[in-house]
Structure 1
Amino acid sequence: MFRRLREEAPLYRNEEHDFYAVSRFEDVRAGLADKDTFISGRGAILELIKANMEIPSGVLIFEDPPIHTIHRNLLARMFAPKKIRELEPRIRELTARSLDPLVGAGGFDFVRDLGKLMPMWVIGGLLGIPEEDQESVRDSVDAELRTEAGKPMIKYTDDKEFASGEIFAKYLDWRAEHPSDDIMTELMNAEFEDETGTVRRLTRDELLIYVNVVAGAGNETTTRLIGWAGKVLADHPGQRRELAENPSLIPRAVEELLRFEPPAPHVARYMTRDVEYYGQTVPAGNVMMFLIGSANRDERHFPDGERFDIHREVRQHLTFGLGTHYCMGSALARLEGRIALEEVLKRFPEWEVDLDEAQLSPTSTVRGWETLPVLTP
């Protein structure tokens, strides 16, 4: 369908849900880079934009400059390359803890036994959430993203609730009394100049929302990446064997997985002015959907883009976005993906997916596996 859109309807109009979409790499790339025409401040999900609700301060991914720049700079130091590199031994230890008990069991679930655990431990540890509480926090954040098939995100669009982060309140209160070396403590103590020129700290409500956004972004997308690694490498057993025999190929394989099956295959923007595509004018006030999953396979940019190839020359893909909203956690996601593959292949060089029991996850934001059981020799 993406291929048909690129060739037959590079500007697509959906009357039923009232949005436009572009699917070619150059159109998606240019749109994501144009922060003034395609704004994020009304949301980046179709249902949220249509709900015409006020996005609370601190929802970083749904903000525009200057407030987005201020909030982003507060977080940037916490995802600095040195900090990310220092996490590797801990991530490897947590991954081994997940996988070692499964050796010899005849199979495991890529999502339940690894994909939902490792990212949760990593982001929970970064935030300063006790390990015994991380699972309940992850499940609460995940539930905010779930939908029923064919239905919108009712929680947000009907109740006008969004990312209040109340589940983190007790941790915030604890950290106020017991500071530590974690993101929560750093955010509480960080001083910044806000959009009015006032030097201040984040309010409690802003902190709760901020932490909620970091927890959601840090969990959900990496979980999907690990699930897709299980599915795509099962579909390409020859390339999987190459990776098992030569782990130095794994970083490039992670990049190809991100291109081939992006965990977030689309993003929406509200339009502030008229834009012309292919001889048609899209008026201001519309919603434009950028089809990242299609752009990443556009043969105009990626030769033979429909083919998964771990030897593909690495070129810019759009999985982590572009420009103002480029994903700050991209280095962490790549690190987690690489370690997950290294540790899985070390123990399980062969597997096949039990498709009868595998289930895709229902959300409006990300695409991936809710369960992905595999059988191992």
Structure 2
Amino acid sequence: MTAPTDSELYYDPYSIDLNMNPHAVFARIREEAPLYYNEAHDFYALSRYDDVNKAVIDHETFISGRGAVLEIIKSGMEIPPGTLIFEDPPIHNIHRNLLSRMFTPRKVLALEPQIREFTARCLDPVVGSGRFDFVNDLGEQMPMRVIGMLLGIPEDQQQQITAHGEAALEGQTVDALATGEVFSEFIDWRIAHPSDDIMTDLLNAEFEDETGTRRKLGREELLLYLIVIATAGSETTTRLIGWAGKTLADYPDQRRALAEDHGLIPQAIEEILRWEPPALQIARYVTRDVEYYGRTVPEGSAMLMLVGAANRDHRRFPPDGDVFDIHREPHSHMSFGAGTHFCMGNALARLEGRIALEEILKRFPEWEVDWAGARASETAAVRGWAAMPTFVS
């Protein structure tokens, strides 16, 4: 993969190669240009942890309503109503509070036996083969299947959702997935056959909308919310599992420590999320002139909060944020965002990551990456591996 020369200080957020290994560039930006400006793509960027954290929380200066990825902000497109990740308070809070009932600690933890059983079903057939692909054998299947479990979708229809999710990760069925058609049949069936599950809860939940009207979600609204949750939650967790395979291959001593003591796995998941966040940046539209480091960022600009740079800031993660250490004293990272847009599914993603590593390490305590077969994902917004094959023993 290409890497910049020492004389360059340039970050292209659309470069898939650079996004797979951006940390040398991020380190220089963090120290040399804490307010960075990219003339070619016309955006500003913050990279130090405190700057990124405060900016993400400041939802009045840095809004999501013009988009949360750079290309959408720059396009000037009108955001369709009800797209949760592209909303600002107060409407965002209304929708978030309604949907957060999907992710209560009780409901998330209740899924553990089902997730563990499904993980075992994925892993057991490859035991003894000498090979295991973190993405193709597990990572691209588990998250969408878990969304189906959470909603109470029967297993045969969960498989359909997983198939759509895998295709979407490869860019094959984005239109179908984006319109929510994959959930449509089940929602219609559940309307006619209510049950004790989250889908029925969402169909029957009453709330006060932004006009003060007390009502239920419309069918199209529910479809849009479900697809946002499914795509935002599944792709990032798929990437987390792929990065876990690559990172723990790079640090075999720490992998062996995890194999010997599974109690270390939760903090290892946090360190992997900090070290290789699936989403390297959070984009926002700037609503007023704001100053950083003696320079003015004008109203109407696009601002990138560089999560991947903030997560390795030695000011936040002493003594050296560029060291991978599962024994690191815990400090919160930016991989799940912060403030009003803090990831609703963070507990679910952590649970999936923990179960995945526990079950993998039970069966495969040692592995090396088969680099001849490794393949980077072709998506820039959420970066990671489309294939992470390993030789296992």
* Shorter-chain TM band: over 0.9
Aligned partner (choices 124, 127, 134) of residue 151 of structure 2: 127
User: Partners in 1 of 2:385 and 2:169 — Cα distance?
Assistant: 14
Q: Deviations over 1:46-102 (max 9, x none)?
A: 111122222222211111111100100011122111111111111111111111111
Does 2:233 align with 1:209? no
Task: Give the direction of change, closer, same or farther, for the CA distance of 1:229–1:327 in structure 2 (3 Å limit).
Answer: same
Partner of residue 152, structure 1: none
Partner of residue 334, structure 2: 318
Q: Judge which range, 47-56 or 17-26, deviates more.
A: 47-56
> SS of the residue aligned with 1:317?
coil
Q: Assess if the C-alpha contact under 8 Å between 1:184 and 1:211 holds in 2.
A: no
Partner of residue 6, structure 1: 30
Paired positions, count? 367
Does 2:283 align with 1:287? no
Q: Assess if the C-alpha contact under 8 Å between 2:111 and 2:149 holds in 1.
A: no
Partner of residue 130, structure 2: 106
| Shift of residue 134, structure 1, vs aligned partner | 3.4
Aligned partner (choices 186, 189, 192) of residue 204 of structure 2: 189
| Shift of residue 335, structure 1, vs aligned partner | 0.7
Unaligned runs of 5+ in 1: 149-154
> SS of the residue aligned with 2:236?
helix
Partner of residue 13, structure 2: none
| Shift of residue 133, structure 1, vs aligned partner | 3.6
> SS of the residue aligned with 1:288?
strand
Q: Assess if the C-alpha contact under 8 Å between 2:177 and 2:227 holds in 1.
A: no
Q: Deviations over 1:151-170 (max 9, x none)?
A: xxxx89xxxx9933233221
Task: Give the direction of change, closer, same or farther, for the CA distance of 1:317–1:136 in structure 2 (3 Å limit).
Answer: same
Task: Give the direction of change, closer, same or farther, for the CA distance of 1:162–1:178 in structure 2 (3 Å limit).
Answer: closer
Q: Assess if the C-alpha contact under 8 Å between 2:239 and 2:385 holds in 1.
A: yes
The residue type equivalent to 1:35 in the other structure is: H
> SS of the residue aligned with 2:72?
helix
Q: Assess if the C-alpha contact under 8 Å between 1:94 and 1:118 holds in 2.
A: yes
User: Partners in 1 of 2:340 and 2:177 — Cα distance?
Assistant: 22
User: Partners in 2 of 1:128 and 1:8 — Cα distance?
Assistant: 50
Q: Assess if the C-alpha contact under 8 Å between 1:142 and 1:216 holds in 2.
A: no
User: Partners in 1 of 2:351 and 2:339 — Cα distance?
Assistant: 21
Q: Assess if the C-alpha contact under 8 Å between 2:111 and 2:150 holds in 1.
A: no
User: Partners in 2 of 1:146 and 1:101 — Cα distance?
Assistant: 24
> SS of the residue aligned with 1:253?
helix
Partner of residue 331, structure 1: 347
Does 2:89 align with 1:74? no
| Shift of residue 218, structure 1, vs aligned partner | 2.3
Partner of residue 273, structure 1: 288
Q: Assess if the C-alpha contact under 8 Å between 1:32 and 1:323 holds in 2.
A: yes
User: Partners in 1 of 2:122 and 2:286 — Cα distance?
Assistant: 45
- Spell out the pairing of 1:230-245 with structure 2 (5 A cutoff): 230-245=245-260
User: Partners in 2 of 1:311 and 1:74 — Cα distance?
Assistant: 37
Task: Give the direction of change, closer, same or farther, for the CA distance of 1:144–1:119 in structure 2 (3 Å limit).
Answer: closer
User: Partners in 2 of 1:20 and 1:111 — Cα distance?
Assistant: 33
TM-score, normalization by structure 1: 0.93
User: Partners in 2 of 1:34 and 1:337 — Cα distance?
Assistant: 30
Q: Assess if the C-alpha contact under 8 Å between 1:111 and 1:372 holds in 2.
A: yes
| Shift of residue 273, structure 1, vs aligned partner | 0.5
Partner of residue 171, structure 1: 186
User: Partners in 1 of 2:322 and 2:92 — Cα distance?
Assistant: 35
| Shift of residue 258, structure 1, vs aligned partner | 0.9
The residue type equivalent to 1:342 in the other structure is: E
Q: Deviations over 1:229-270 (max 9, x none)?
A: 100000000000000011111111111111111111111000
TM-score, normalization by structure 2: 0.89
Aligned partner (choices 335, 341, 345) of residue 357 of structure 2: 341
Q: Assess if the C-alpha contact under 8 Å between 1:58 and 1:209 holds in 2.
A: yes
Partner of residue 151, structure 1: none
